[in-house]
Amino acid sequence: MASDNTVKVTLIKSKFGRLKSHKACVSGLGLRRINHSVVVQDTPENRGMINKVAYLLRVEEA
């Protein structure tokens, strides 16, 4: 399922009380709740969203 250019992203802090743009990045990555993980492609667009909300996430190579 996972190829060389994917990353596993896990939401480790709540998105509530955050900036609207940060909430949009979290939902854009497909994350719904704390400890929810998704595997996303390692594209510049996804990398930008990950970098913007890095303080809410744990990122691992998939």
Give the start-to-end residue ranges of the domains of the chain: 6-61
What pTM did the predictor assign?
0.89
The CATH number of 6-61 is 3.30.1390.20
Q: Phi, psi (5° rounding) for residue 28?
A: -65, -30
pLDDT per residue as tens digits for the range 17-56: 999 999 999 999 999 999 999 999 999 999 999 999 999 9
Tell me which amino acid residue 2 is.
A
Q: Give the residue among 36, 33, 38 at the shortest CA–CA distance from 1.
A: 38
pLDDT per residue as tens digits for the range 8-18: 999 999 999 99
Bigger pLDDT: 3 vs 26: 26
Residue 1 has pLDDT above 90, yes or no: no
